[in-house]
Structure 1
């Protein structure tokens, strides 16, 4: 057995699985929605006592026990991760010199034994009934004792979503229609309809772990100053080169170390805090305290997929809640499996959209929260350097430690064409945001 050793231009399909480590020995099973692992490369989530702890990428041959092969890699990975997490915690504990303006956040409280808060799980969708059904099945299987599921049908062209929700999921899922196009507008419609104290958002192309809502909601019960919680996003399938390339450059994963982002104590290892909001989490796995999100004004409807801005709705909401003085926590225990887009054109669209969404959300933040302008200007030099690094052509790792989903490993080269698309998207983002605002103003 050996770990994958070098970058390749056309990577073969990789099996996706879960590896449970316990007293009874390692157990391997396919990830939700994935096929049974076959001899070859396997990407596995490592669970320890049921909790997500790491990922490994290994290879097993015919006749080998894949669980034993991957368990050996997992033990090494867990030892390395423990050291990295200790370093991250030490850095996060240091106070940075610059803070952002805003109300004084509520002090942290020690954990208390309380009933889990009621949660509203909100899924915005548009003409994707097949994948939506898969997502809804996972949301209805959650172990959280008090939650509702809301589907927001955004600018529908057919009745497919309505028929699915009111037919197959009648009396179990609430249907909301929002005719104004755009992910942020759909999310705001879900916020308006929701009854929960906690508002959890995910996409129609995920499968949620059965403990997802419980893991997202638990931090809110122990910290009244918490405004947002984000969680871990892993790939459900790695069957095409586009999916593997995206995941090998980080995908949507934010690692296995819990983090607390506090506007009163900006982390020393995040010098652009809070404007590098992409490091906090992603819209496919986020939750807000309903009162905090509503006081912050919700999502900016001129951002998000489905608008000229292309994206940035989740990033805007993260910064809006932090600017209001609330804390944000990342917890890897809250897990969803995401079905990455499969084609090269999908990846091109994503690269451009990410670039556009980044600068669109920054524009939205300054337009709607001008008090943040001095803090942003103080970070401009470092921000420009960060943007250049983020969109640079990235080579493939030549060593054996490239794990899809771990930032910085870059197991497969990131093409220069995609870097150029990201930069073009960044230049377009402010224009797209202003176009969206103008078009919405005209429609009103």
Structure 2
């Protein structure tokens, strides 16, 4: 998509309010509270006609029926590529169900109580973004049992903002590192389900109650949800969303289990496809069984991938993770090129560090294959494609990826670093700096 700005439009197909804008747009289609899919369109493709919207509604309805109707093959397991495997054709879905009635039934908002959920937000020097995040959490249809803000700045800079939300708990964790902050949140939180989001995110009003529904209805230990862009106002934001894939674009639920783990293990189990740390939740028993977040990984340490490394341990231990896009958050992507390139470099550096860690923990050679073979092949193919086809800025992002890969290689000879292990979840901890 060669444009520097897209309007993010939310279209409720049940209300038939299609609008008439002709600006480039990422249209996110809903059926009431159920997200169905998204489509990017340029000026000459807008506005959508009635027949186009009917066809889209039929296609999205078929996908939802495949994924959510037990009699039609649900639930879907993730495939090798981390994508849903179709259970039936569009024609079969159209014949099997009254689509409007079926979508109305599927789109019923959750009535589950979120009182058994602790929401943990880790923040570091992002005051305006944090205020928006906390405002969205205060507006949840079902209030969580608690909201805990872990301030990971040295000076406790989030304290004044958190005072504006007296029902939330504030905790100062001055030791830098996202994994360290998240572990603090796990250890001081009170409830059985621990949900995480980021300070540059705004949660949909139904976020917590959809998490509660998922854990009540499915026998899973971990959960991820849909992360949509909040805005696409700059070229950097559009590049992250469209060129790099954003945080994924799957709108049907998937289960990631031991079968997925074993199928992808020879090439480094593709646990990064499970979801994003900006929208994830765990039963407390996960941390007691497989340990806490690895404090060598994540922002403030190796870069990122502390979430996917924990999913790796969980799947290796026979656990199951559910991706359920009913639970939606809106992420504010980096708005400038330097910020985006720093982010991409950190992502790749952290990814390599996590692969090294996974190899050390489990001896899976697929992790080394990904570092030494698959990633260089990806870089070469991307370079050739970007050189001849673009899009603009892709070579700069690729350079940041290669820099991150090279930075990640430094962890291979660091044997002292490699011998460390993540802390266990049942370790006793003292409460730190809590104010209400």
Contact 1:58 1:73 in 2 (8 A): no
Cα offsets for 1:287-323 (capped at 9, x unmatched): 111121233211011111112x111211122112222
53, 56, 62: which is aligned to 2:39? 56
> Does the residue aligned with 2:241 lie in a helix, a strand or coil?
helix
CA change 1:80–1:43 in 2 (3 A) is farther
Q: How does 1:306-385 map to 2 (within 5 A)?
A: 306-307=300-301, 309-367=302-360, 369=361, 372-373=362-363, 376-377=364-365, 380-381=368-369
Q: CA deviation at 1:337?
A: 0.5
How many residue pairs align between the two structures? 381
Give the Cα–Cα distance (whole angstroms) in 1 for the partners of residues 341 and 159 of structure 2.
Answer: 31
> Does the residue aligned with 2:158 lie in a helix, a strand or coil?
helix
* 2:298 corresponds to 1:304: yes
Structure 1 unaligned segments of length 5 or more: list them.
1-6, 29-36, 95-112, 399-409
* 2:222 corresponds to 1:222: no
Q: CA deviation at 1:379?
A: 6.5
Q: TM-score, normalised by structure 2?
A: 0.76
Contact 1:116 1:221 in 2 (8 A): no
Q: How does 1:31-430 map to 2 (within 5 A)?
A: 39-59=22-42, 71=53, 74-75=56-57, 78=60, 92=78, 118-157=116-155, 159-166=156-163, 168-170=164-166, 172-224=167-219, 226-249=220-243, 250-263=245-258, 265-266=259-260, 270=264, 272=266, 275-307=269-301, 309-367=302-360, 369=361, 372-373=362-363, 376-377=364-365, 380-381=368-369, 386-388=374-376, 390-391=378-379, 392-393=381-382, 395=385, 412=391, 415-430=394-409
RMSD between aligned alpha carbons? 3.6
> Does the residue aligned with 1:393 lie in a helix, a strand or coil?
helix
Contact 1:58 1:69 in 2 (8 A): no
CA change 1:143–1:83 in 2 (3 A) is closer
Cα offsets for 1:392-427 (capped at 9, x unmatched): 42748x9xxxxxxxxxxx994562332232133123
Q: CA deviation at 1:57?
A: 1.9
- Which deviates further from its counterpart, 130-139 or 142-151? 142-151
Contact 1:229 1:286 in 2 (8 A): yes
> Does the residue aligned with 2:119 lie in a helix, a strand or coil?
strand
> Does the residue aligned with 1:40 lie in a helix, a strand or coil?
coil
CA change 1:348–1:160 in 2 (3 A) is same
In structure 1, the partner of 2:17 is 26
Give the Cα–Cα distance (whole angstroms) in 2 for the partners of residues 435 and 382 of structure 1.
Answer: 20
Which consecutive aligned stretches of 4+ in structure 1 deviate over 3 angstroms post-superposition?
64-77, 79-94, 113-117, 267-274, 378-386, 388-392, 410-414, 432-438
> Does the residue aligned with 1:26 lie in a helix, a strand or coil?
coil
* Larger RCO (CA within 8 A; separation ≥ 6): 1
Contact 1:300 1:364 in 2 (8 A): no
Cα offsets for 1:236-292 (capped at 9, x unmatched): 1111111101100311124112110111x2368746577222101111111111121
Give the Cα–Cα distance (whole angstroms) in 1 for the partners of residues 157 and 391 of structure 2.
Answer: 38
CA change 1:76–1:223 in 2 (3 A) is closer
Q: Which has the higher helix share?
A: 2
Cα offsets for 1:6-50 (capped at 9, x unmatched): x43xx231111110011x42356xxxxxxxx95411112110132
Contact 2:114 2:145 in 1 (8 A): no
Contact 1:393 1:414 in 2 (8 A): no
CA change 1:327–1:355 in 2 (3 A) is same
CA change 1:40–1:72 in 2 (3 A) is farther
Structure 2 unaligned segments of length 5 or more: list them.
81-110, 422-436
- Which deviates further from its counterpart, 289-298 or 277-286? 289-298
Give the Cα–Cα distance (whole angstroms) in 2 for the partners of residues 72 and 341 of structure 1.
Answer: 35
Contact 2:297 2:353 in 1 (8 A): yes
CA change 1:66–1:15 in 2 (3 A) is farther
Q: CA deviation at 1:164?
A: 1.1
Give the Cα–Cα distance (whole angstroms) in 2 for the partners of residues 297 and 227 of structure 1.
Answer: 13
> Does the residue aligned with 1:47 lie in a helix, a strand or coil?
strand
Cα offsets for 1:138-184 (capped at 9, x unmatched): 11111235431110000333x43111112x112x1100111110100
